[in-house]
């Protein structure tokens, strides 16, 4: 069953000076099933960041529709968008977006605070999640006292604390070293194995190779996609590498 349904999405920007029109998204359509782990890849300027902003309800498309659980994101009012985003979407960013003057626990609590939950309820939510993500021993520390990998695990905990329908991850391994990247990708695989739907934008072939499906964006369109099938991460890595080579030479068919 599709949890996310993107239909004929177009986004046109008008530049401030000169009034030039730039089409960032041309005609993007795809679905994401509940429990899927999908990666989106594309060169800088391909439109993937614009797409992510539209999926996050941070920017409205010029044309087209986005449905999450059958509800149209494009028809939400400004008043409805914040609460809808908070209740249905979890975000993991490249630069963590943690507040340095908040402890790890308080950073994780933040979406629940904004939802008006009680401290007792929030505390009940955070303990099992922290244990699952391996950060129970750093909950009272501050972001400047922990490693990059621990910061990203904190960010993942904050994204999961509301039990979102969809996790949106924007270059989640971009600021991590090799060891922390491996740890985060194993964590994402575990979370997805527990049923969490994940959509990740990444430049990293290694990160994308852990997904079940990869969409390639080129010139504002979904140009190509590949599926893991029954293959390993290594098989998927090779598939992605081959696909990128074909796409760079102008080819590309859905597999």
Per residue in 61-118, pLDDT tens?
Answer: 999 999 999 999 988 888 888 888 888 999 998 889 999 999 999 999 998 887 778 7
State how far the Cα of 28 lies from the Cα of 197, in Å rounded to an integer.
Answer: 20
Query: Which pTM was predicted?
Result: 0.91
Q: Residues 6 or more apart from 181 whose CB is under 8 A from it?
A: 173, 204, 206, 207
- pLDDT recorded at residue 153: 93
Q: Which residue has the higher pLDDT, 113 or 195?
A: 195
- pLDDT recorded at residue 233: 94
With 60 as the cut, is the pLDDT of residue 252 above it?
A: no
Residue 44 to residues 18, 24, 150, 207, 220: CA-CA distances in angstroms?
Answer: 23, 11, 28, 17, 11
- pLDDT recorded at residue 159: 93
Q: Are 164 and 179 in contact (CB under 8 A)?
A: no
In 3D space, the residue among 43, 6, 4, 1 whose CA is nearest the CA of residue 26 turns out to be 6
- pLDDT recorded at residue 254: 47
Q: Report the pLDDT averaged over residues 164-188.
A: 92
């Amino acid at each position: 069953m599709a949890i996310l349904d993107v239909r004929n999405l177009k986004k046109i920007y008008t530049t401030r000076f000169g009034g030039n029109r730039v089409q960032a998204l041309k005609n993007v359509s795809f679905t994401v099933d509940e429990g899927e782990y999908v990666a989106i890849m594309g060169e800088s300027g391909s439109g993937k960041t614009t797409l992510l902003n539209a999926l996050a309800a941070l920017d409205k498309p010029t044309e087209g529709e986005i449905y999450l659980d059958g509800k149209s994101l494009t028809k939400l009012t400004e008043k409805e968008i914040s609460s809808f985003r908070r209740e249905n979407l979890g975000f993991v960013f490249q630069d963590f977006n943690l507040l340095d003057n908040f402890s790890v626990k308080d950073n994780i609590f933040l979406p629940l605070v904004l939802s008006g939950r009680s401290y007792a309820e929030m505390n009940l939510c955070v303990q099992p999640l922290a244990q699952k993500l391996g950060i129970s021993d750093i909950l009272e520390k501050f972001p400047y006292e922990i490693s990059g990998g621990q910061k990203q695990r904190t960010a993942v905990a904050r994204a999961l604390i509301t039990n979102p329908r969809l996790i949106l991850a924007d270059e989640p391994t971009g600021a991590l070293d090799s060891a922390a990247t491996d740890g985060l990708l194993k964590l994402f695989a575990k979370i997805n194995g527990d049923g969490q739907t994940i959509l990740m934008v990444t430049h990293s072939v290694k990160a994308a190779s852990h997904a079940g499906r990869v969409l390639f964006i080129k010139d504002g369109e979904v140009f190509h996609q590949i599926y893991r099938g029954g293959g390993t991460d290594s098989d998927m890595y090779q598939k992605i590498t081959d696909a990128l080579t074909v796409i760079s030479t102008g080819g590309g068919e859905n597999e």
